[in-house]
Structure 1
Amino acid sequence: MLYLEILGNLPEMARDEVRAMLELAGGEIVGQDYLFLKIDADEKSFHYLNRLGLAHEYGELIVEADSIEELLEKAGEVEWPIKGTFKVDTETMANCRFNVLDLPRKLGAVIHAQGFKVNLSKPDTLVRVYCGERLYAGIRLKFFDPKDFEKRKAHHRPFFRPISLHPRVSRALVNLTKAKREILDPFMGAGGILMEAGLIGLKVYGVDIKPEMVEGAEMNLRHYGIKDYELKLGDATKLEELFPNKRFEAIATDPPYGTSATLAGRKRDELYRKALESMYNVLKPGGRLAIAFPADFDGRTEAERIGFKLLARYYQRVHKSLERYFYVFERP
């Protein structure tokens, strides 16, 4: 049994990202306690879980209990898979019902009694205790370091454009498509979504109507070591012409929201409608589209009119002048 802690800024989207990866890996979410997910999966799922964007960490779940006394009792009865030295660290979630102030010391003493050595500064193994409606203790296996994502934010890239999704959100959009081999971004801009897809081993295809964006996206992809890509100068409403004999496994994109300059002089809503039609035509049956639209555009109605099936929708308030929804659609 595994545990996984998701991030709290887009919790429903984060949970569904985990679910999508587990569907590929052959596991499932069997419980949730605030941001803590209990997962029925084994090490075969690590390949896909390691792709996650909206996750904090995951690990092996060892003990769960309804009281501190029960947790300590169970902890003394199990064999802890600890390598080297250890440290106990507590995560007190917003719904924590217990006083866990002294729990690290008490649990540490129980584990120490089994012959393991404590190292509070540089432990080889981190024992994590989560406090929510219940108590959970496990061994951290993977930490998703925020620095790994922060260094790929827009202002750190060789080709810089300020309007870009956070790399964690870009990664989640890719994962929500359940792509295993390839992905297309028909509004690639500076290539943020393609970067995240390429870093998890997908072949990436990108389209933009501006030559400087195509050149800039390639510069960014190369900078982050991504080699398996195909970028084209072209129109997102004419994908069938750009890829005449190609049908894609998955599409993830963040279309421009704003001015006529960024929309190449076209009306925004009309651009969205025509692009959705073109994306539908180049997507394989069963393929998924993950896309962002501003809240004042009815993405569901327009996509379903074309033939897409809505799988999920997530709201995000970016700032007072921008509210958006992330959608996940499937082509039947």
Structure 2
Amino acid sequence: MKYALLSAEELFVSMAEISSLVKSKISFFTGVAIFNDYNASIAKHSSTIKYSGELVSISDNPEDIIEKIKGECFSVKPNIIMNSQKDKFNEIYNKILDSIKLSRKCKILDLIFTDGVIIAGIREDERDTKSLNMHAKKPFSQSGTMDSYTSRLLVNLASPKKQVLDPFVGVGSILLEAAWIGYTCIGSDIDKKMIDKTRYNLNYFGYNCEILESSATNLPYREVESIVTDPPYGRSSSAKGEKLDKLYEDFFFESANSLKKGGKLVFASDSTRDWRDKIKSSGLKVQAVHFIYLHKSLSRAIYVVIKP
């Protein structure tokens, strides 16, 4: 069995991300997921999963944990999810420490206290924040550019097998994450200047994606596995009112034509807009809508849509 520590800042979004990455049944404690999956890079490739590893024990009795790790050497990392129960955790924690050898050179033992139990596990994998921070410093950016964490989140929510298409490519934030994870990446935009910036950003990091000039409402692709994108919205968008409505409506119909059966469309939008009726009218089905607060003038809604 495996365990994973989720992001406390965006807990429900983090639960959705790990559900898209893990193919087996998941059990949730507050802030922690328990599952059985062969994929050893769950946390590394994620946006919101802090670390994961091999589960040792789940118990409110320290003796159950001590029985499995007694005498071994660990570098112990405690984590209290429910701070109100700190005193109870310290008592259990000290008993466990007395039963093992401690060294920073040894493997990491996570002791996570949540919902009245200790979740003990051997850490195997951590979120690759280095790549996320590296992508945040891409040469070309602009107002409203999606950050690397959200871009990677959108890619993972689409559960692609091999391929990711971004038809509103902008400066390539989503393609950077798709390429880093290892997917075949395709991008298009109606603005040639954006295409040039995307190509430059991809080349800067040594990534290779197919990029072409094309409208998102007239895509030259069919049987696409997944569409992941950040269409125009908010203050940075030149399209307003009926013009913006028409753009989204046409894009949904084109996505329905381009996706293969079971393929997913994942996109971000201003949370003040509700696109569910237009999505349904296009023949697609909304699986989930997640909300992420950015600042006082904008919160993002992330739509996860499937072609039935």
What is aligned with 1:178? Answer: 159
Q: Any stretches of 5+ residues in structure 1 without a counterpart?
A: 113-117
CA distance in 1, matches of 2:243, 2:71: 59
Residues 222 and 308 (structure 1), Cα distance of their counterparts in 2 relative to 1, 3 Å cut: same
Superposed, which structure 2 residues align to 1:52-67 within 5 Å?
A: 52-66=46-60
Superposed, which structure 2 residues align to 1:250-289 within 5 Å?
A: 250-258=226-234, 262-263=238-239, 267-289=243-265
Matched residues, number: 306
Shift in Å, 1:75: 2.5
Determine whether 1:77 maps to 2:59: no
Which amino acid counterpart does residue 98 of structure 2 have in structure 1? A
Q: Any stretches of 5+ residues in structure 2 without a counterpart?
A: none
CA distance in 2, matches of 1:57, 1:123: 18
Shift in Å, 1:295: 2.0
CA distance in 2, matches of 1:52, 1:172: 7
Whether contact under 8 Å (1:88, 1:126) holds in the other structure is yes
Whether contact under 8 Å (1:293, 1:325) holds in the other structure is yes
Residues 264 and 209 (structure 1), Cα distance of their counterparts in 2 relative to 1, 3 Å cut: farther
CA distance in 1, matches of 2:42, 2:121: 20
What is aligned with 1:16? Answer: 16
What is aligned with 1:36? Answer: 32
Residues 212 and 327 (structure 1), Cα distance of their counterparts in 2 relative to 1, 3 Å cut: same
Superposed, which structure 2 residues align to 1:94-133 within 5 Å?
A: 94=82, 97-99=85-87, 100-101=89-90, 103-112=92-101, 118-119=102-103, 122-133=104-115
Determine whether 1:238 maps to 2:234: no
Moved more, 90-99 or 129-138: 90-99
Aligned match of 1:290 in 266, 270, 279?
A: 266
Shift in Å, 1:61: 1.1
Residues 265 and 323 (structure 1), Cα distance of their counterparts in 2 relative to 1, 3 Å cut: closer
CA distance in 2, matches of 1:238, 1:77: 62
RMSD over aligned Cα atoms? 2.3
Whether contact under 8 Å (1:51, 1:200) holds in the other structure is yes
Shift in Å, 1:76: 2.7
Whether contact under 8 Å (2:80, 2:86) holds in the other structure is no
What is aligned with 2:39? Answer: 45
Greater than 6 Å deviation, 4+ residue runs = none
